[in-house]
Structure 1
Amino acid sequence: MKVLKCHWIFLVLITALSILWYSYITKLNGGGVVSNPGLRGYIRITPGKPYQFLDIHNKQCALVSSSGQMLKAGLGSIIDKEDFVIRMNNAPTLGFEHDVGSKTNLRVVSHTSVPLLLKNETYYFQQSASTIYVMWGPEKNMRHDGKGRIFNALMKMAKKYPGAKLYAVTREKIQDCDNIFQNETGKNRMQSGAFLSTGFFTMILAMDICDNIQVYGMINDSYCRQVNHKRVPYHYYEKSRIDECRMYEAHEKARRGGHRFITEKAIYARWATQRNVHFKNPSWRL
């Protein structure tokens, strides 16, 4: 009798836990069971409907660098013919169509560049509503508890422009990227004083959603050591700023707070030998 009573108590507990779990899952999906969770590292910023994940896949993608290498490249028409075009931050196409094209399907945006998008919010979030925006940043700026300054600003845009496709890189995905950096370099990102670049997050995302990636305008890790390398602006749309190689070298040597652009390029080269990643203008010898 005592054994039977324990058995019934066990069944009641299992049933209760099952009900609680089902309620939790349906709540995550706004009332329905999750059937297609998508890429759980990228979560939509939208009021009232939490836990919507980025769910896209493309066979052929173009990843367009913001580098001054794109100036006078004349690759605009080729880029626009790609199935899916990825750009970074607020890199403009207007006035640069001949070199970089005009098609933009997705932008990966740093927390530091979000204010630049907000200055022209009607263009980015209304006129370009078909573009997907994936924002990344540290927890202090992207937290969801009302204390994340950048996340709060993006949620405001999501309410104001309900058609905008705004996503945030999750804390877990950012940690995963930190782990990838450490596995590739043997260095802890934070202890080494490095910040991952928007390019790093963009390359990770591209490999998550694309079968084949054509990268335009990105130099390799040895380019700046070449005696006759071409001197170009760090960004193709900021002609008066410091040149690209000087920027890369300054960041690579920075003890704290630097992007390891050159180290990251060496990582991309290794990935390219394992994945369908191809570099154009300049081309890379892998």
Structure 2
Amino acid sequence: MWNRVVMVQDTLLRHVMKQSARVLLFFLVVWILLFLFIFTNFSDQTKMAISISYSDGQHVAWDSREFKNLHLSGFAERRGPFQSRRDLKLSDSRYKQLRLRNIYKMELKRRIKKNKMKTIDNTRLLMEGLWKGNVSTNMLNQRLQQVIKDYVHVNMHKVLYKGRRNASRSRQELLCQMKRQTRLKNLDSSEQPFFRLDFQRWFPSQPLQKVYKTCAVVSSAGSILNSLMGREIDSHEAVLRFNSAPSIGYERDVGNKTTIRIMNSQILANPKYKFNSSSIYRNIALLAWDPAPYDFDLEKWYKHPDHDLFKSYIAHRESFPEQPFYILHPSFIWSLWDFVQSNTVENIQPNPTSSGFIGITVMMNLCEEVDVYEYIPSVRQSSLCHYHETYEDDACTFGAYHPLFYEKMLVLRMGTASEHDLKKMGKVTLPGFSKITCPT
């Protein structure tokens, strides 16, 4: 009996062990399959596609390698040691912002490069047209065309031109008209309010009237860099420079002689130009100008100049009473604008002409012959505004506030220059008024 019981127990034990082995084997197989599944999923993770869905219907997808390159992998959801596939919804706006920002940057770089090449091509065509005297404002870029239209519309100086226009005058006719209409005139104490305010003690007793044989007008344009024109410029009897343009450090290209310096009123009023302390304003004749109203109401202008011209002028005259220092009369400034508009069919900017054109006219009044450098750009033309600064803008060459584009065309029509002088040297030669013979 006992033996029978032992046999039954032994049989049951073997059966249980057999069943346990099957269960263990089953779990072992399941574990192996699970491991293989996880391992396979992990291997594919490097090629995993990550998708973003947005409420507006946009769907952007890229693989995880691109995602990593965008430095976005740190934002992905992680579970343990493995990175899982995930759909990102609108709430994950950070993904959208970074992804679209990257796309925007790449597109912006592409467009900048394309527009830069287009601008270079347009500028070359414009320069070729300018050298040939066959250009119009339609050849300017859209930004500059719009700026010109805006200034014409605003008309801040209340310009009301009533004269005739004729864009077909000959060179001789232009020179005679300029000689007749743009005679140099400075402020003096004979007019109000300067007579009442006793400006006689401030204005020089003798006008600026010395006549020079050969004169150089040196543009401040960036294109004068690497011109090697310094020695030729210094060979002239008189040299005119503009505003705060230095010669020290640039002698090879611009020379170092200065006889007259023309400045807009901002140079006097703005402390950054160091007008009362810088050596570039010493031991030379100075001419200042300010954009007065078109009707040159002197009382109104004295009270409200564009910049604090008169206070700075008096302070300088007190410190340096022997230095010849003049203020150009508003009637002279606006006579130049009238001259340009009368020879242009289009409506030019109703603002004073540039310091460059003012300087050219001053020297035509004072000199027998005037060589102008880089006012008409050479092949070195660039968007660099001034040779001594780093600011770039095509408006500095073709005009924005000033009717510079129209001025250049007239200077080219009145001047003489060989192809070499014009393109390689940026040089145009003009006769002084004393050498222009006109019919009576």
Normalising by structure 1, we get a TM-score of 0.68
**2:373·2:428 contact (CA, 8 Å) conserved in 1?**
no
Residue number among 386, 404, 411 corresponding to 1:261 in the alignment: 404
Residue number among 225, 228, 231 corresponding to 2:382 in the alignment: 231
CA 1:69–1:43: 2 relative to 1, 3 Å: same
| Equivalence for 1:123 | 278
CA 1:142–1:55: 2 relative to 1, 3 Å: farther
CA 1:188–1:160: 2 relative to 1, 3 Å: farther
Residue number among 291, 294, 305 corresponding to 1:138 in the alignment: 291
Structure 1 residue 179 displacement after superposition: 1.9
**2:268·2:275 contact (CA, 8 Å) conserved in 1?**
no
Which is worse superposed, 84-93 or 147-156?
147-156
**1:84·1:105 contact (CA, 8 Å) conserved in 2?**
yes
Q: Secondary structure at 2:278's aligned position in 1?
A: helix
| Equivalence for 2:356 | 199
Structure 1 residue 77 displacement after superposition: 1.8
Q: Secondary structure at 2:332's aligned position in 1?
A: helix
- Tell whether 2:374 aligns with 1:217: yes
- The residue correspondences of 1:244-255 to structure 2 (distance < 5 A) are 245=394, 247-249=396-398, 251=400
**2:186·2:327 contact (CA, 8 Å) conserved in 1?**
yes
Summarize deviations over 1:7-37 as a string: whole Å, max 9, x none: xxxxxxxxxxxxxxxxxxxxxxxxxxxxxxx
- Tell whether 2:248 aligns with 1:89: no
Residue number among 398, 415, 425 corresponding to 1:272 in the alignment: 415
More helix by share: 2
CA 1:55–1:47: 2 relative to 1, 3 Å: same
Which is worse superposed, 169-178 or 201-210?
169-178
> Which amino acid is 2:361 matched to?
I
| Equivalence for 2:185 | 41
Where does the alignment leave 5 or more consecutive residues of structure 2 unmatched? Answer: 1-182, 190-198, 431-440
Residue number among 217, 233, 245 corresponding to 1:63 in the alignment: 217
Q: Secondary structure at 1:211's aligned position in 2?
A: strand
CA 1:162–1:185: 2 relative to 1, 3 Å: same
Partners of 2:309 and 2:247 in 1: how far apart?
25
Which is worse superposed, 71-80 or 133-142?
133-142
**1:47·1:159 contact (CA, 8 Å) conserved in 2?**
no
Structure 1 residue 111 displacement after superposition: 1.7
Q: Secondary structure at 2:407's aligned position in 1?
A: helix
Structure 1 residue 137 displacement after superposition: 1.0
**1:47·1:158 contact (CA, 8 Å) conserved in 2?**
no
Which is worse superposed, 76-85 or 193-202?
193-202
Q: Secondary structure at 2:312's aligned position in 1?
A: helix
Identity %: 25
CA 1:232–1:150: 2 relative to 1, 3 Å: same
Summarize deviations over 1:60-98 as a string: whole Å, max 9, x none: 001101011111112212211211001111101111111
More strand by share: 1
Structure 1 residue 181 displacement after superposition: 1.9
CA 1:212–1:284: 2 relative to 1, 3 Å: closer
CA 1:246–1:283: 2 relative to 1, 3 Å: same
Asked which structure has the greater RCO (Cα within 8 Å, sep 6+), the reply is 1
**1:47·1:155 contact (CA, 8 Å) conserved in 2?**
no
Which is worse superposed, 261-270 or 128-137?
128-137
| Equivalence for 1:161 | 320
Structure 1 residue 266 displacement after superposition: 0.2
Partners of 1:41 and 1:281 in 2: how far apart?
32
CA 1:100–1:283: 2 relative to 1, 3 Å: closer
Normalising by structure 2, we get a TM-score of 0.46
Structure 1 residue 247 displacement after superposition: 3.8
Summarize deviations over 1:87-131 as a string: whole Å, max 9, x none: 11110111111111111000111122323586242334xx75321
Where does the alignment leave 5 or more consecutive residues of structure 1 unmatched? Answer: 1-38, 252-257
Which is worse superposed, 56-65 or 110-119?
110-119
Calculate the aligned-residue CA RMSD, in Å.
3.3
Q: Greater Rg, structure 1 or structure 2? A: 2
CA 1:40–1:196: 2 relative to 1, 3 Å: closer
> Which amino acid is 2:362 matched to?
L
- Tell whether 2:258 aligns with 1:101: no
Residue number among 151, 162, 170 corresponding to 2:310 in the alignment: 151
